[in-house]
Amino acid sequence: MKRVLYIFRFMFFLTVIALVGKVVFMLYNAGEHCTLMNIWDVLWVGLPLDLSLAALLSVPVWAATAATMYYPGLRLRAILSPYLILAVLFVVLVTAGDIVMYHHWKFKLDACIFNYMSSPGSAGASASPVYIVTCLSSAVIAIVGSIVIAVLLTPKRITEDGKGINRTNFLATGALLAFTVFGVTGHRITESSVFEFEPIVLNHAAVNPAAHMLHSLWIYHKTPSKQFRSMSDEACEEWAGNLFPEEMDDITDTLLTTNRPNVLTIQLESFGASFIETLGGAVGVTPELCRWMEQGVNFTNAWASSFRTDRGTVSALSGVPSYPTYSLMMEDNCLGYFPSLAGTLSGYGYQTDYLYGGNSDNMNKRKYLLASGFQNMWDIRNLDVPEAERDAWGANDSISIQRLYHLLTTKKDSSSWYFAYQSVSSHEPWTVPYHKLDNEVYNAFAYTDHFLGAFLDSLSKTPVWDNLVVVIFADHGSMYQLDYQHPMFFRMPLLMVGGAVKKPKKLNMFVSQSDMVGTLLAQMQISKKDYPWSRNVLSKNYLYPFVYATYPSGMLFADSTGVTMMDLQSGCVVYADGEDNGSRANRTKAILQRSYDKLKGINIH
C-alpha cells in the first residue's frame, strides 16, 4: 500500500503545481475575466488534461517503485532524485515561462521559444531589469521549492512486502496511470476538450502548459512535410489549388510612371493599423502617415502575415507565407532557398542596400539579408551613434532615418538602386526622446510617425524623389489593447508614394504582406514567376481576394465573407465572423498543409 500511496502523492503534487499555475496565470493575464467563477471553471475543465500530464510523468516513478517489490532494499529516493529534478524542473519552468511570456506574446508557450533562444537580447530589450530579475528570482524560488518537496515526498526505501494484495493494488495503479496517460496521445483527452470558453484567454488558461509544450515538441520533431496534415493531397488541392494562380504578371492598373524606378522600402516596427486613423485606428497618433496616405497609392485592406519581425520581414521581402512553427530567417538551411526582392532587382542591375537601427545579428537577420542579395548593410555597429541617441533596440528612429536621408541624397552612382530601411523605436519599452502624447505607447508611434513625415517631406524636395517609389509597410501589428484573436492586430499600412507614383489612389482589395513583392514587380514589368506565393493583386487573375496569416498558436483566413481564426494544436475555431459554412477553415488548413509541403527536402531543425 505504501507504494500505491507514494505514486498517488507524486501525481497529486504535479496536479497541484498545474492548478496553482493556472490560478497565477489567471491573476496575471486574465484581467477583468479573472473572477472566482471563471477560475473554478478553468480549473475544472482543464483538470482531465492536468491529470493526464501528471500520470504521464508518474510512469517512470511507478516503474522505479515497482523494482522495490523485488529488491526491497533499493534506495528509491537516490535512484529517482535525478528524474524528479528534471521532471519538476520541466513542469515548473514551463509553467512559469508560460505565465510570463503570455503576458507579452498572448499565446501558450511552445517549442517555438527555441527559435529565439539564440537571440536572448531581443527578448530582454522589451523588459526592464527589475522586471527580469523579479521574474527570474520568482521562478528560481518556485523551482527549488518544488524540487525539494518532490524529493522529500519520495521514501528513502520501501521495505513493505511486495506480494499478494500489495502487488495486485500496485499493478492496478499502473493500469490506472496508463489509462489516464492515454489522453495525452490525442485519442481521448486533447486540447480541444478544454476549448469551450469565451474569451480565448480562458481557454489558454485551461490548457496545461507542460502538456502543450510536449505536444508542440512532438509536432516540431517531425519533418516539415509531415506536420499539420489534416486532409488528403487531393482534398488539399481542391481547397487551395486555385488560391495562388500561376499567371499573374499582367497589370490591370498602372500605378507608376516608369518601369525602372529606384525603390525604397520602409518597414515600420509593430506599426499595425490600430495606430492609424485613416485605417480605423486611434485618432491623432500618426497624422503624418495619414497625410501621406492621401498623396500616394494607399492599400486600405492590407494584412500582415505574422506576429513578429523575423517572420514579417521574410514574408514581405521574399513573398512567402509565414510558418507557425518555423522562423525561416533563423533557419540557416533556408537562407538563399527562397527568392527576394533584393536578389531579383540586383539581377536587373540595381545596387541593393539595407539600413537597420538595431543589431542585425538578432534573429539571424544579417545572414538572411546577405543571402537575399543585399550588397551593403548598415546597423548600430557601423552607424557610429552615441549612447545618448540610442534606445533599448538601437539607434533612435530620428537618428537612423537622418542617416538614411544622408545616404540617399549623397549617392553619386547613377545606376538604379534599391534601399531598404527598418525602424525600431515603436516597440516596448516605449522609451523615445519625444513627448507629444501622454500615453507612452501612442507617443512612441507618434515619434516614429513625426520623423517619417519629416523625412518624406525633405526627400520630396530633392532630385532623388523624381524617379523614386517608396513602399511603406509594417512588419507586424502591436499587442497593445489587442490579442491575436482580434483581426485588427493583423491589419497594417501598405502605401506607395514618390515621384514615380502616377497619382494618389485608394485600393480596397485584400492584400497580404507577402503580396507586396509580386505586386511591385508586376508594376515594374518584371516577372514574378519565382514568387508562387506572392500574388499581383492588380492582375486580372486575382479572382478570389483573401489573406492568410499565422502565429505560433493559430492561423487566420479572411475574405469578403468574413474572418476565421483557428487554434493550431486543438484545431478549434476560436474566432469567426460573417457568413461561413466551414470553407474558410478548410482553406486555412489546406494552405497550411501546402506551405509545409514546400519545405520538403530542406533540413530544418
pLDDT tens-digit series, residues 447-456: 999 999 999 9
Where are the CATH 3.40.720.10 domain residues in the chain? 262-533
pLDDT tens-digit series, residues 138-182: 888 998 999 999 988 888 877 676 565 666 777 777 788 887 877
- Residue 163, classified by CB atoms within 10 Å of its CB into exposed (0-12), middle (13-18) or buried (19+), is exposed
CB-CB contact of 569 with 600 (8 Å):
no
Rounded CA separation 228/222 (Å): 10
Rounded CA separation 237/336 (Å): 27
CA triple 242-245-251, angle to 5 deg: 140
Q: What percent of the chain has pLDDT over 70?
A: 93
Q: Which is higher by pLDDT, 493 or 66?
A: 493
pLDDT tens-digit series, residues 352-372: 999 999 998 888 899 999 999
pLDDT tens-digit series, residues 92-147: 999 999 998 887 777 788 777 766 655 555 555 555 677 778 888 888 899 899 99
pLDDT tens-digit series, residues 306-321: 999 999 999 999 999 9
The class (CATH top level) of 262-533 is alpha beta
Greatest Cα pair distance, the chain, in angstroms, is 95
> What is the reported pLDDT for 273?
97
- pTM (2 decimals)? 0.85
> What is the reported pLDDT for 110?
76
pLDDT band at residue 187, thresholds of 50, 70 and 90?
A: very low
Mean pLDDT (whole number) for 470-481: 94
Res. 204: pLDDT tops 90: no
Rounded CA separation 46/97 (Å): 19
> What is the reported pLDDT for 595?
92
pLDDT band at residue 184, thresholds of 50, 70 and 90?
A: very low
Alpha helix stretches (DSSP H) within 228-331:
233-240, 287-293, 309-318
**Beta 505-507 vs 491-492: how paired, if at all?**
unpaired
> What is the reported pLDDT for 568?
83
